[in-house]
Amino acid sequence: MTKKKIILASASPRRKELMMQAGYEFEIQVSHKEEVYTSTEPSEIVKELALLKAKDVAQMNEKSNLIVIGADTVVAYDGLILGKPESEEDAFRMIQNFQGDKHQVYTGVAILSYDSDGNETVVNHAVKTDVYVNAMSDEEIWKYIYSDNVKDKAGSYGIQSGFAIHIEKIEGDYFNVVGLPISYVYNELKRIEGE
């Protein structure tokens, strides 16, 4: 069997690091397609966006013995999606809302696999993790915001950063919150390679 070329359709340094830790050889190509979706549920939105990114990058390549992995992560609280904050005040509002409570992190993973004839197989799945955040004072929220680059983080925080001290527990895949459920990706790629 020919080992397929793997492309990660993401500019995220965290996703790149997780793929490298898993031992994959891969290239990075980023989709610049506008992120438009029609779904309303967070789990469906991330699947839609992950697939959009993967399909866009697949179009840029010869579709033979190729795997393209697209991913999209959102933070949701009370059914509302919390994107990347537009300002420090916006970040403060987000964290203030979910401190002392739980919220969800969803990552959609779309894996497009092409055989030697260019036939496509699509796997598109969303992984959900519940994150419980301790009660935080306004002072603690501002201290965190000033200590980290929150503007590039969905929900205004990174679990692998200084925000870790405020997380009581998680239920689900930790690496999903980082940005890529690597165990899920590994098992899917293993299954695809075995076909």
Non-local (6+) Cβ contacts of 30 within 8 A are 9, 10, 11, 57
The one catalytic residue among 72, 115, 130, 138: 72
Is 72 considered catalytic here?
yes
Find tokens 């970040």 and name the residue: 91
Distance CA 63, CA 78 (A): 40
Q: Which residues are catalytic?
A: 72
